[in-house]
């Protein structure tokens, strides 16, 4: 039975992590960390009677957990992960806000301490697999465009996931020029351009978060699509991380790198 | 049995029309018009022994046909349709090139002669129904975007069908403002803009001609999509026109107006 | 300003109706009916100070409203609608459970009282439009199949909406035989069969409620798809009903019949 | 410059292969084999003046080519591949009809001769990538269904590609039970069942050959789709094989195994 500490256990994502671990065979929550968490209110957060509660790092008992799940805040995550690594707990981190330098430093620390772990910006399995498959397909189908669709309130376009997908494709696809003579009778009709990869952003009420990568070749097409209906989907990736973290010998950045 | 004359019978579309009428119960080809068509070569064009062949308008016998199908050339179509109306033949016209003035004049002539008929820019039933349904849905779903996808060789964007769809929607949808505060980190990501309706054009090899209209509302979405795999699809609309032309009392512009 | 009474105001759908009417210009909630609703707790249900609250029909004041929105229970809806019609309030009814006989009787009553209204099993605009468009398209594309996709917990297949769509198509499509010689190496691969219309039901976690109608013809395809992401979508149809109910001279069954 | 012999050069697929190799930098056709091919008619088959033509294996000159592309007939392919391997030409084989025993024997021969090559039932890159990605995704999304769509004339259901996809998924997905209590009000609505994986086959005119694999998980979905519009698409896979065959040390079965 693996022992798990959940940092940020009272937040929206933290609570989903609590429910996930409570539902899994082979894992148990032994500790939880959150600023206002107490012995009295822990049941409200679906934490069992035997779970130890802490409000700050300094209070945490030694050997209380094997794995550290972190859904906290940008200003807390660096100290959290450092603490986890130094105390032999494998971090699984969904909190954003670590700088590249901090990630590099923590990775170095993980090597010294020989403690594996994972930091991921996106724990949605469908989005992560879409990016992985899109990168692979682009080697064979250099003609590719991306369409992402989000709810009407999203202000920025294109989405971060769409742009990340384009960057991954750009790293591998053969030198390529798409239809240089094309013209637009409505400016923007051909979409945004990232190194020759066209990205189209749709914004409509009702939609949630969806991405399609469209590949075309002589006489055929390949389309990869993912739909995120609910942030619950992040827990699919956390579950995969829990199953794989024991096989990691250092801190890995990106869920796709442990699949 | 309705008698049909096919003008432009030796061209690519004319040949498809020949095959269509040959396959239909209740219709027979009685005459065909084309510059190089002769009694000797008519069998090569799937025309039966009893079909009369003409190389120019002046040769055509009176009462040779009830219906005139026209897939000729822009410089021939005006004289053809005028000839048909004046001789009591109901024209079904897929040839492009008539000016607005010519269309108005021919419509006036059709009223005087009391001869119905149809002129259509697009005989693809899926495209025509898509436009019709999109216009109707826009009354209830004012939030709408269009994605069209064509083969990589298409030079202009967006497609004529996509633009026509946007115009039809614009005629009916309630006053509407979509997400005014949105920003593009890649210019063009949000597509081309026709009166607030965003249009996205995808160009990829393998693709043929496809259009999607996406509607979004609170908690739901409606999508209408059409795919044209082959110009054979135009004959679906010609068949509908053949079945309905008897009910028309004047020349009608647009297949959607007889559905 | 139209005055609205909401029956079942404290239920899940009733609460969505309360929020809808509160958000609309030209309409105001003047009364609400629900078994446990009181002056004291009405604010908890987003009802303004001036809204009159009733726990049963007998308490309702004359002339308190022009329109009666009903999201109650099967055993209450008949008496509710009868009461509304007899007191000159136009009913908009989303509650299920009325028998065909009861619907006929209430429609007759609405004619006698000259009070319009609407009873609808489905207020989701995308589903209602899909059914309407599918029926219209089937006249031109008799080759059609239906795919519906729902969450993995749905026990019955196909969905009621898919079956209703097939029935509507069956009423209009030309006599038709699809590929009589086909064989299945896996029984069921070709789907369920409703009068020759194939219906395929997909059940997967993550999915919510989605339906596609696929039409095929020579060289082309037409697809109509609707996605219900959230029951909030029902309010789109209630809003349309509120806007149109004044134009109705009797009780109408089915949202599609007022579009 | 790699020298290529094309066996079956006058057939439909052979001709596509001729056009492909003629268009590629770094490869040249040096020889062609077909029963009726002659010096006189070779230009009709897009073969250049310097291409050597043969009507049977015994005529082939030594060292005439490095690579042997085979699109012949089931009764010729075994002898062809054996001949190629024995004479140091790397076979790329799209001809069907080899038994499992013949494949095993030829693979053994390729090891002895240290000549690489590829035998593939499907050279459509989109179909091959779909199968590869579907198998990978199933490790993380055990809930999966397959929808394939073909033209209305296809007699058997489901398609071979759909069944192959299900087999690949079945090899890897975790033990899994989908909604055991479900019921069908129309028999077949839930599709055909391959080891718990549901397969749905759509047959409609206009459609060509299309396959979708739908994965669902908590709050998200992943869909992989491929469309084959034209048999030209097979040449995309032949091109990849040409580029990779030099890296192979023995005969490989299946395009997916060299990607």
- Same domain for C62 and C133? no
Rg (C-alpha) for chain D, rounded Å, is: 21
**Whether residue A176 has pLDDT greater than 80:** no
Confidence of residue C231 (pLDDT cuts 50, 70, 90): confident
Q: Does B199 touch chain A (CB under 8 A)?
A: yes
**What residues contact residue D74 under an 8 Å CB cut-off, 6+ apart?**
D95, D96, D97
Of all helices (H) and strands (E), which one includes residue A77?
A: helix A74-86
Contact D126 A217 (CB under 8 A): yes
* Residues in chain B within 8 Å Cβ distance of A216: 152, 204-207
**Whether residue A180 has pLDDT greater than 80:** no
Contact C203 D191 (CB under 8 A): no
Single out the catalytic residue among D150, D200, D210, D239.
D150
- Same domain for B223 and B248? no
Token pair of D7 as six digits: 């066996």
Contact B219 A206 (CB under 8 A): yes
Q: Does C205 touch chain A (CB under 8 A)?
A: no
Single out the catalytic residue among C132, C150, C210, C239.
C150
- Say what the pLDDT of residue B121 is: 86
Token pair of C107 as six digits: 């429609």
* Residues in chain D within 8 Å Cβ distance of A161: none
Tell me if residue B194 falls in helix, strand or coil. Answer: strand
* Nearest by CB: A227 against D136, D220, D232: D220
Q: Give the tens place of pLDDT for each residue, A23-33.
A: 999 999 999 99
- Same domain for B99 and B200? no
* Residues in chain A within 8 Å Cβ distance of B206: 143, 216-221
Q: Give the tens place of pLDDT for each residue, C57-112.
A: 999 999 999 999 999 999 999 999 999 999 999 999 999 889 999 999 999 999 99
* Nearest by CB: C191 against D181, D189, D205: D189
CA distance A132 to chain B (A): 21
User: Which residue ranges of chain D lie beneath pLDDT 50?
Assistant: none
The pLDDT of A166-186, averaged and rounded, is: 86
- Same domain for D223 and D238? no
Q: Does C19 touch chain B (CB under 8 A)?
A: no
The answer to whether residue B239 is catalytic is: no
Percent of chain B with pLDDT over 90: 92
Contact C216 D187 (CB under 8 A): no
> For residues A225 and D214, is the Cβ–Cβ distance under 8 A?
no
Beta bridge partners of C117: C251
Q: Which of B220, B223, B231, B242 would best serve as a mutation to test chain C binding (most C beta carbons within 10 A)?
A: B220
- Same domain for C10 and C105? yes
**Whether residue A64 has pLDDT greater than 70:** yes
**What residues contact residue A257 under an 8 Å CB cut-off, 6+ apart?**
none
Q: Does B233 touch chain D (CB under 8 A)?
A: yes
Give the ipTM of the model, two decimals please.
0.89
Q: Does D54 touch chain C (CB under 8 A)?
A: no
Burial C180-191 (b: 16+ CB within 10 A, else e): eebeeebebbbb
Domain of B169?
125-228
- Same domain for C141 and C222? yes
- Say what the pLDDT of residue B13 is: 94
CATH of the domain at A132: 3.30.360.10
Q: With left for phi above 0 and alpha for psi between -120 and 50, is residue B231 left, alpha or beta?
A: alpha
- Same domain for C82 and C207? no
Q: Does B172 touch chain C (CB under 8 A)?
A: no
Contact A217 D233 (CB under 8 A): yes
Show pLDDT as tens, one digit a residue, over chain B (259 residues). 999 999 999 999 999 999 999 999 999 999 999 999 999 999 999 999 999 999 999 999 999 999 999 999 999 999 999 999 999 999 999 998 899 999 999 999 999 999 999 999 889 999 999 999 999 999 999 999 999 999 999 989 999 999 999 999 999 998 776 667 789 999 999 999 999 999 999 999 999 999 999 999 999 999 999 999 998 899 999 999 999 999 999 999 999 999 9
Question: Of B66, B167, B69, which Cα lies nearest the Cα of B118?
Answer: B69
Number of domains in chain C: 2
User: How many residues appear in chain D?
Assistant: 259
Residue in chain D lying closest to C184 (CA): D157
- Same domain for B129 and B55? no
- Same domain for D42 and D78? yes
> For residues C208 and A206, is the Cβ–Cβ distance under 8 A?
no
Residue ranges of A 130-159 with Cβ closer than 8 A to chain D: 130, 133, 136-137, 140-141
Single out the catalytic residue among A2, A46, A113, A154.
A154
Please give the mean pLDDT across all residues of chain B: 95
CA distance C248 to chain A (A): 29
- Say what the pLDDT of residue A174 is: 87
Contact D178 C217 (CB under 8 A): no
Taking every pair of Cα atoms in chain B, the longest distance, rounded to a whole number of angstroms, is 69
Q: Give the tens place of pLDDT for each residue, D51-95.
A: 999 999 999 999 999 999 999 999 999 999 999 999 999 999 999
Contact A217 D236 (CB under 8 A): yes
**Whether residue C44 has pLDDT greater than 70:** yes
CATH of the domain at D240: 3.40.50.720
- Say what the pLDDT of residue A178 is: 65
- Same domain for D20 and D82? yes
- Say what the pLDDT of residue D223 is: 98
- Say what the pLDDT of residue B178 is: 65
* Residues in chain C within 8 Å Cβ distance of B223: 223-227
* Nearest by CB: A205 against B163, B194, B218: B218
CA-CA-CA-CA dihedral for A178, A184, A189, A194, to nearest 10: 40
Please give the mean pLDDT across all residues of chain A: 95
- Same domain for D23 and D146? no
Confidence of residue C178 (pLDDT cuts 50, 70, 90): low
Residue matched to tokens 């080759």: C143
Contact A158 B185 (CB under 8 A): yes
Query: Is C192 marked as binding a ligand?
Result: no
Beta bridge partners of B198: B145, B193
- Say what the pLDDT of residue B250 is: 97
Burial C103-129 (b: 16+ CB within 10 A, else e): beebbebbeebebbbbbbbbbbbbbbb
- Same domain for A22 and A102? yes
* Residues in chain D within 8 Å Cβ distance of B227: 206
Q: Does C247 touch chain D (CB under 8 A)?
A: no
> For residues A5 and A53, is the Cβ–Cβ distance under 8 A?
no
Burial A48-57 (b: 16+ CB within 10 A, else e): eeebbbbeee
Single out the catalytic residue among A16, A87, A150, A200.
A150
The answer to whether residue A239 is catalytic is: no
Subunits touching A (CB < 8 Å, at least 3 pairs)?
A: B, C, D
**What residues contact residue D158 under an 8 Å CB cut-off, 6+ apart?**
C185, C186, C189, D146, D148, D192, D199, D200, D201
* Nearest by CB: B217 against A206, A214, A220: A206
- Say what the pLDDT of residue D178 is: 65
* Residues in chain B within 8 Å Cβ distance of C120: none
* Residues in chain A within 8 Å Cβ distance of D130: 222
* Nearest by CB: D206 against B206, B207, B229: B229
Chain pair B-D, CB pairs under 8 angstroms: 11
Question: Of C216, C213, C111, C195, which Cα lies nearest the Cα of C159?
Answer: C213
């Amino acid at each position: 039975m693996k022992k798990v500490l959940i940092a940020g256990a009272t937040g929206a994502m933290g609570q989903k992590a609590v429910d996930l671990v409570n539902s899994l065979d082979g894992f148990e929550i032994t500790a939880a960390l959150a600023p206002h968490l107490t012995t009295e209110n822990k049941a409200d957060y679906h934490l069992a009677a035997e779970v130890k509660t802490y409000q700050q790092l300094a209070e945490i008992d030694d050997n209380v957990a094997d794995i550290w799940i972190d859904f906290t805040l940008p200003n807390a995550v660096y100290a959290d992960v450092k603490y986890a690594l130094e105390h032999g707990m494998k971090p699984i981190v969904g909190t954003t806000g670590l700088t590249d330098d901090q990630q590099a430093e923590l990775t170095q620390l993980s090597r010294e301490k020989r403690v594996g772990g994972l930091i991921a910006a996106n724990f949605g399995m469908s989005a992560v697999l879409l990016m992985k498959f899109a990168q692979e397909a682009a080697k064979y189908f250099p003609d590719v465009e991306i369409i992402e669709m989000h709810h009407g309130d999203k202000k920025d376009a294109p989405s971060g996931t769409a742009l990340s997908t384009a960057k991954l494709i750009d790293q591998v696809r053969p030198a390529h020029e798409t239809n240089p003579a094309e013209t637009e009778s409505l400016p923007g009709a051909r979409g945004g351009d990232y190194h020759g990869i066209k990205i189209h952003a749709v914004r409509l009420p009702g939609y949630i978060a969806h991405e399609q990568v469209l590949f075309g070749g002589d006489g055929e097409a390949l389309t990869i699509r993912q739909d995120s209906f609910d942030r619950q989907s992040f827990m699919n990736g956390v579950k995969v991380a829990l199953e794989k973290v024991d096989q990691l010998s250092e801190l890995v950045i990106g869920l796709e790198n442990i699949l």
